[in-house]
Amino acid sequence: MTVNRRHIVLGIGGGIAAYKAAELTRALMEREISVQVVMTRAAQEFVRPLTFAALTARKVITSMFAGSSEDTLASAVEHIRVAQEAEALVVAPATADLMAKFANGLADDFLSTMYLAFTGPVVIAPAMNTNMWTHPATRRNLETLRGRGHVIVEPGEGFLACGMVGPGRLAEIERITAAVLSVLERRRDLAGETVLVTAGPTEEPLDPVRFLSNRSSGKMGYAIAEAAAARGARVILVSGPVHLCPPPGVTTVNVQTAEQMRAAVKAHFEDATIVIKAAAVADYRVADPAPQKIKKGEGGLTLRLEPNPDILSELGRMKGNRLLVGFAAETGDPLPEARRKLESKNCDMIVGNRVDRAFGSDDNEVVLALRTGEAVELPRASKREVADRIFDHLLKLRAALPATK
Ligand code: C5P
């Protein structure tokens, strides 16, 4: 494989649409993409591997242990090597079974094992009988895969091999090819950027066991960190206390209080080219936290609160040419507040969302207030998809804006 040639893995599932994967292979190769084909056992019942070997001039991978007659380490870890070499994993046709395996992390053949080992972008083009496509189990698996940021090229409607007419037919080859090209383009578009993200709530102690905090889950900030890493950025994630796994390839700095978050953000600010403050920082902290556990008394308890530093405002005063993004979580229409914060905190973008539609949820529905004066309403989507749209608009902003203050 030459270094500049784009390289993908095409996983072919066992459905009648497997024959269309030959056309897809050609279409991708015509666009200068080299293709490593992996076929499931069922796919080989529909089309012979020889078809794809001839098209790609490469050995087709047909099973976990095929070709490993030599008991070498190389053959035992081939799925890892194949995963590392690919810039994208494209699965077409994706059967209901493959989607279920991916969604649940089953790894009982080469394709599903490689899927788990693969950290890059995934494009899934399902094809199946209408009833299988609309089954609640498939819908749930589809949402899980979408939530991971995979691009789903929805099947079209039409005459199906089973005799039914309805949704389930593999999307047109041109649509799948376009999705692969856009994913490959996007994959590189944050290369060279250092993205600093904050996420989650902060906890402000009252005493060694109690604290003041809020309901932020951290999911939006983690989705932003994951999207940035997937698009080639170096990512530093400063996280308040949350119940989430750090995304792969991201440097995570764990903090508890707003003061600690401020120190961590400032320590990495110099290097950052894009700063996204998705954290729900506590506005107040307890002025004099007790060194010992506060004992229950007869009467009430009065806490004296003092304001925390507004980290985002501080960054706004020293932003230079960095792109600076804040969040506005509101109980009513977020746009007026988002616009006000854009000015007062000197940001390039404020992501406005409604507390009742965002906190704790896997989805989000946001409006972007941009430095150009525009407002962009994004349709409700998974937080991972929203994260990608935020970066799409940030890159457009960078191109449109003169070097900022
Ligand atoms: O002013 P408000 O708290 O509504 O603004 C929210 C935005 O400001 C978020 O991006 C949040 O991360 C940031 N913020 C901050 N420091 C604070 C309070 C909020 O950086 N003390």
pLDDT digits (tens, 9 = 90+) for 144-153: 998 888 999 9
Name the residue of 276, 281, 368, 390 whose CB sits within 8 Å of the most ligand 1 atoms, as the mutation to test its pocket: 281
Instruction: Establish if 146 belongs to a structural domain.
Output: yes
Same domain as 230, residue 163: no
* Residue 350 backbone dihedrals phi, psi, to 5 degrees: -120, 130
User: Does residue 347 carry a catalytic annotation?
Assistant: no
Beta carbon of 311 within 6 Å of any ligand 1 atom: yes
Least confident window among 23-37, 191-205, 345-359: 345-359
- Could you give the number of structural domains in the chain? 2
Give the confidence band of 87 by pLDDT, cuts at 50, 70, 90.
very high
Mean pLDDT of the chain: 92
Instruction: Establish if 18 belongs to a structural domain.
Output: yes
Same domain as 61, residue 32: yes
Same domain as 375, residue 305: yes
- Overall average pLDDT of the 201-229 stretch: 96
Give the confidence band of 222 by pLDDT, cuts at 50, 70, 90.
very high
Secondary structure of residue 4 in the 3-state scheme: coil
Percent of the chain residues topping a pLDDT of 90: 78
393: its two tokens: 């608009």
Same domain as 179, residue 279: no
Beta carbon of 196 within 6 Å of any ligand 1 atom: no
CA of 338 to the centre of ligand 1 (A): 11
H helix or E strand, kind and range, residue 305: strand 305-307
Name the residue of 204, 310, 325 whose CB sits within 8 Å of the most ligand 1 atoms, as the mutation to test its pocket: 310
Distance CA 204, CA 38 (A): 52
CA of 312 to the centre of ligand 1 (A): 6
Q: What is the DSSP string of 59-79?
A: PPB-SSSTT--S--HHHHTHH
Give the confidence band of 68 by pLDDT, cuts at 50, 70, 90.
low
User: What are the tens digits of pLDDT across the range 98-134?
Assistant: 999 999 999 999 999 999 999 888 999 999 999 999 9
Beta carbon of 276 within 6 Å of any ligand 1 atom: no
CA of 368 to the centre of ligand 1 (A): 16
Indicate if the pLDDT at residue 28 is higher than 50: yes
User: What are the tens digits of pLDDT across the range 299-325?
Assistant: 999 999 999 999 999 999 999 999 999
Secondary structure of residue 210 in the 3-state scheme: coil
Instruction: Establish if 1 belongs to a structural domain.
Output: no
Same domain as 172, residue 245: no
**Amino acid 114: pLDDT:** 95
Ligand 1 atom 19 nearest Cα: 281
Beta carbon of 285 within 6 Å of any ligand 1 atom: no
Beta carbon of 199 within 6 Å of any ligand 1 atom: no
Domain boundary among 186, 221, 247: 186
Name the residue of 213, 312, 313 whose CB sits within 8 Å of the most ligand 1 atoms, as the mutation to test its pocket: 312
Domain boundary among 122, 152, 186: 186
Give the confidence band of 70 by pLDDT, cuts at 50, 70, 90.
low
Q: What is the DSSP string of 261-328?
A: HHHHHHHHHTT-SEEEE--B--SEEESS--SSPPPP-SS-----EEEPP-HHHHHHHT-TT-EEEEEE
Instruction: Establish if 347 belongs to a structural domain.
Output: yes
**Amino acid 168: pLDDT:** 93
Indicate if the pLDDT at residue 1 is higher than 70: no
Amino acid found at 286? V
Same domain as 394, residue 263: yes
CATH number of the domain to which 357 belongs:
3.40.50.10300
Beta carbon of 310 within 6 Å of any ligand 1 atom: yes
CA of 266 to the centre of ligand 1 (A): 15
CA of 92 to the centre of ligand 1 (A): 43
Q: Which of residues 17 and 363 earns the better pLDDT score?
A: 17
Q: Which of residues 70 and 285 earns the better pLDDT score?
A: 285
**Amino acid 3: pLDDT:** 43
Beta carbon of 264 within 6 Å of any ligand 1 atom: no
Work out which ligand 1 atom sits closest to the CA atom of 327.
10
User: What are the tens digits of pLDDT across the range 43-57?
Assistant: 999 999 999 999 999
Q: Which of residues 167 and 11 earns the better pLDDT score?
A: 11
Give the confidence band of 404 by pLDDT, cuts at 50, 70, 90.
very low
Instruction: Establish if 171 belongs to a structural domain.
Output: yes
CA of 309 to the centre of ligand 1 (A): 9
Same domain as 235, residue 371: yes
Same domain as 240, residue 155: no
**Amino acid 297: pLDDT:** 87
CATH number of the domain to which 122 belongs:
3.40.50.1950
Beta carbon of 21 within 6 Å of any ligand 1 atom: no
Same domain as 153, residue 241: no
Give the confidence band of 258 by pLDDT, cuts at 50, 70, 90.
very high
Give the confidence band of 67 by pLDDT, cuts at 50, 70, 90.
low
Secondary structure of residue 324 in the 3-state scheme: strand
CA of 216 to the centre of ligand 1 (A): 13
Instruction: Establish if 292 belongs to a structural domain.
Output: no
**Amino acid 153: pLDDT:** 94
CA of 345 to the centre of ligand 1 (A): 9
- Overall average pLDDT of the 220-224 stretch: 96
Same domain as 122, residue 73: yes
Same domain as 204, residue 169: no
Give the confidence band of 73 by pLDDT, cuts at 50, 70, 90.
low
CB–CB of 173/27 below 8 Å? yes
Give the confidence band of 164 by pLDDT, cuts at 50, 70, 90.
confident
| Crossing angle for the helix pair 173-188 and 20-30, to the nearest 10 degrees | 40
Give the confidence band of 2 by pLDDT, cuts at 50, 70, 90.
very low
Beta carbon of 341 within 6 Å of any ligand 1 atom: yes
Percent of the chain residues topping a pLDDT of 70: 96
Domain boundary among 144, 166, 186: 186
Domain assignment of residue 335, given as a range: 194-287+297-400
Name the residue of 259, 277, 345 whose CB sits within 8 Å of the most ligand 1 atoms, as the mutation to test its pocket: 277
Q: Which of 53, 116, 162, 263 is catalytic?
A: 162
Same domain as 178, residue 145: yes
